[in-house]
Amino acid sequence: MKPVKRLLDISAAVAGLLVLSWLLALVALWIRLDSPGPALFVQTRIGKDGHPFRMWKFRTMQVGAETEWAAPGADDVLSYRFQDHHDWRITPAGRFLRRTSLDELPQLWNVLNGSMSLVGPRPEIPEMVALYPEYAHARHQVKPGITGLAQVMGRGDLSVEETLDWDLWYCQHWTLRLDLKILWRTAASVLRRQGAY
């Protein structure tokens, strides 16, 4: 079944990049006009088997905003939530892009080059992965995804522990049918703006 998953990834990524090329260009232009800095944001994330890779997103924050973030303490990591509805670092365009999840579209390139899948646990930054309890690293046995089970079960409203629980369940129960259900529910979650800024 895994070759079928990869075929689905490639087909969807190619189709998405071709069909949405006009939208990608318009979003990139809007970001450049909205705030100083590049349209794309590239960040190191941890992928399959714990290997780091470069993940692409549309920039939704002020340039250099990542330096203003501090990782939680080891004792607080499982209860930590990334969600902050009043984060001053997010640009006006960025708020819309996050609400609609359009900021994730450049990750179709990551899917095409094989560092990501359409569906899988969302890739995390090395600073957070370093704080994970040992059991949580089992989430890296599959490729990270643009969307995942945790995203349709709450997105940014979930704590790190809740997200890890859903990620590990996905890894243990993966089927192609489950991926298709997650893709379908992702569209519904985005339309409801569940867990969005």
Model confidence pLDDT, tens digit, residues 125-135: 999 999 999 99
Separation CA 122–CA 107 (nearest Å): 11
Identify the three-state secondary structure at position 145. strand
Q: Which residue has better confidence, 197 or 67? A: 67
Radius of gyration of the chain (CA): 16
Separation of alpha carbons 69 and 24, rounded Å: 28
Cα–Cα distance between 107 and 168 in angstroms, integer?
A: 22
45 versus 3: which is more confidently predicted?
45
pLDDT (0 to 100) of residue 67:
77
The tens digit of pLDDT for each residue in 150-175 reads: 988 887 788 999 999 999 999 999 99
- Report the mean per-residue pLDDT for the chain: 90
Alpha helices in 83-133 (DSSP H): 92-100, 107-113, 126-129
At residue 42, φ and ψ (nearest 5 deg) are -115, 130
Per residue in 91-122, pLDDT (tens digit) is 999 999 988 899 999 999 999 999 999 999 99
